Structure 1
């Protein structure tokens, strides 16, 4: 009985301390963090420091990579059976996938897509695949070379649906002639939009296409629905952590903890904005869109901002809008200046380029 009493007292004490902490902290307490509080350094200095980090556990990682090499025959067999290979796990999988392609896929044509690049033309990818398949069919002499040459010349003018139909055509036996697509970071910024993912899924379901891809974002599986995963991509999942640095992939991304250009400024502002409420973010977007469409003006007047926000049901009163603006100013996201007619105007202290990047950041 004494033990139970002690346990109850401890539980009561814990509960009391919890609610005291909540009371003292105050659920409505405003954050005092500012954009200038983020410690940032020169990007070149940060990259140099990252390159000089000494690798650890090299022997263990080497043994790990050797264990993956033993899976190569199995991976090839699954590709021949019509599956797609999806590699996930901590670390860059670029070197692993390229080693697999160069040592185990020598009998097949391989097209590499670098999904970590900012933009990729998916139609150009389909045209390249169609041209490769056309060359393979000529070599196998399954179809008249003259007819294939005419078909190849018209690839640039064909629609996406026509290109997919060609890649899915019954030219030769399904297992006899296919092209492997190696996609580094299929969840990368140049590929993660809905339309591109749907085209990739349709492409993966073509009889003459096999996909080997890697993912690195924790939410990557949310890009696909059940049909895409099990029917079109037909993924065979492999957990292959490599613990390798994302050196190549990271070259095309600005470092959040560095400064030196507009992208960095947009990144740090996005960090602060993403901690605010959705309504606050929407109010900020109104101000940002106005600033982009009126680059020659000194800023957006309070009355105009309130009118737009009220029409979009973002605020219910002037008091609510003032609370958002105060929060923006406290975080140094927004500043004020006196308009020529004496009224206060609000503006975002970013260039147009940085502002566009910021809107993209908070819209993802």
Structure 2
């Protein structure tokens, strides 16, 4: 009976409390809105971040040196058929590139920047096959002077070539280095399946890094233990994600013209000089004809061929695919139904990009 009285009293107290809160006139709702936030320019915010003084530099240097002592072990694991997966807080880009340049000298190394928004995996496969083809010629496994075009092959055919029986043992080997295999350009299921198949090829070894805590959810048991065959290494570097972070917008910042120019410049500087020249041709035409609907693809090919920038339509298409994947150019049809190209940048931004890559 006493317990019942206590429960009723407790209920009545709670009821009166919430009634008092509901009827209170002293509670005022905030009039602030999200649009009232003073958002700074992204470039200014990045400059402020870059000016933050690093801490614990001596301890971090000792940590990196301890990882370098593991290079021989990592190389042995690769030779044994395992893939290396590096994880831990901080950018691992510099560490992996140092490992590749100092220890993987016996491999042909291909680097994939998974932190980019778009990545053309077929072009990656074509490049891998070209590297293996060059090794085969060096080993005199194919007739001298013979050349093979891989552009017309399907993805399945390209992977079959990488896993083919045309090389005995480990005479020819390629190492694929992937910075941020869990990045936005590789995070979909199809991309991960293709990467797993590439890693399982007999003449391919893979070194990758992850930074997302949910990255292992991208793979099933077969991919982890059979195809990738990962050896997991915890290597926190505590290094800032300077390069990787360039392609991500910062919180409480809006992208301005300066940031757009910087991003486009970084992408273009990572391409070949010929690809940059092709982009300049398109950019100069757009600046000279701002009212046009775009530059017809056929006209671009004629201009680039006259300037000896491309030797065939296939070469030009390869450059255009690279531009499109990085959202440097876009396609649309003009009033005559022709396929045209245009650069989705303002005149001011485009002029700055041309100036940057011409230096």
| Unaligned 5+ runs, structure 1 | 1-12, 265-364
Cα deviation for residue 32 of structure 1 reads 9.0
| Partner residue of 2:178 out of 178, 183, 206 | 183
Q: 1:83 to 1:32 in 2, by over 3 A?
A: farther
Residue 143 of structure 1 pairs with residue 104 of structure 2: no
Q: Does structure 1 conserve the Cα–Cα contact (< 8 Å) formed by 2:42 and 2:256? A: no
- Partners of 2:255 and 2:204 lie apart in 1 by 43
Match of 1:204 in 2: 199
Corresponding residue for residue 133 of structure 1 = 132
Q: Counterparts of 1:140 and 1:198 in 2: how far apart (Å)?
A: 31
Please say if 1:43 is aligned against 2:42: yes
TM-score (norm 2): 0.62
How much does 1:256 deviate? 1.9
SS at match of 2:247: coil
CA distance in 2, matches of 1:222, 1:190: 16
User: Following TM superposition, by how much is the alpha carbon of 1:166 offset from its aligned partner in structure 2, in angstroms?
Assistant: 0.2
Change (3 A) 1:24 1:79: farther
CA contact (8 A) 2:179 2:208 kept: yes
State the 1:58 CA deviation.
Answer: 0.6
**How many Å separate the matches in 2 of 1:46 and 1:203?**
39
Secondary structure of 1:175's match?
Answer: coil
Q: Secondary structure at the match of 1:210?
A: strand
1:140 deviation in Å?
A: 1.1
1:146-181: CA deviations, max 9, x gaps? 5xx34x22x000000000000000122232221000
Equivalent-residue separation in structure 1 for 2:21 and 2:197 (angstroms): 56
Question: How far apart are residue 145 of structure 1 and its match?
Answer: 3.1
1:13-42 superposed Cα distances (whole Å, 9 cap, x missing partner)? 9xx99xx89x979xxxx9998533655321
TM-score, normalised with respect to structure 1: 0.61
Q: CA deviation at 1:257?
A: 2.0
Report the secondary structure of 2:192's partner residue. helix
Structure 1 CA distance for aligned equivalents of residues 37 and 169 of structure 2: 56
Q: Give the whole-Å Cα distance in 2 for the aligned partners of 1:248 and 1:34.
A: 34
- Report the 3-state secondary structure (helix = DSSP H, G, I; strand = E; otherwise coil) of the residue aligned with 1:141: coil
C-alpha displacement at 1:260, in angstroms?
A: 3.6
> Equivalents in 1 of 2:255, 2:203: separation in Å?
46
Report the more deviating stretch, 54-63 or 250-259: 250-259
Residues 246 and 33 of structure 1, relative CA distance in 2, 3 Å threshold: farther
Return the offset for 1:259: 1.6
1:99 matches 2:116: no
Count of aligned residue pairs for this structure pair: 239
Q: Distance in 2 between matches of 1:131 and 1:244?
A: 34
Partner residue in 1 for 2:123: 124
Residue 210 to residue 24, structure 1, CA distance change in 2 (3 Å) = farther
- Aligned residue number for residue 162 of structure 1: 157
Native 8 Å contact 2:114 2:180 kept in 1: yes
Secondary structure class of the residue paired with 1:145: coil
Query: Is residue 2:232 matched to residue 1:237?
Result: yes
Measured against aligned partners, the alpha-carbon deviations of 1:225-265 in whole angstroms (never above 9, x if no partner) come to 11111111000000000000000111111112212459x9x
Q: For the Cα contact (< 8 Å) 2:249–2:255, is it kept in 1?
A: no
Task: Verify the 8 A CA contact 2:109 2:174 in the aligned structure 1.
Answer: yes
Q: Residue by residue, what CA displacement relative to the aligned partner does 1:49-78 show, whole Å, maximum 9, x if unpaired?
A: 011011111100000000000100011111
1:173 aligns with 2:168: yes
What corresponds to 1:113 in structure 2? 112
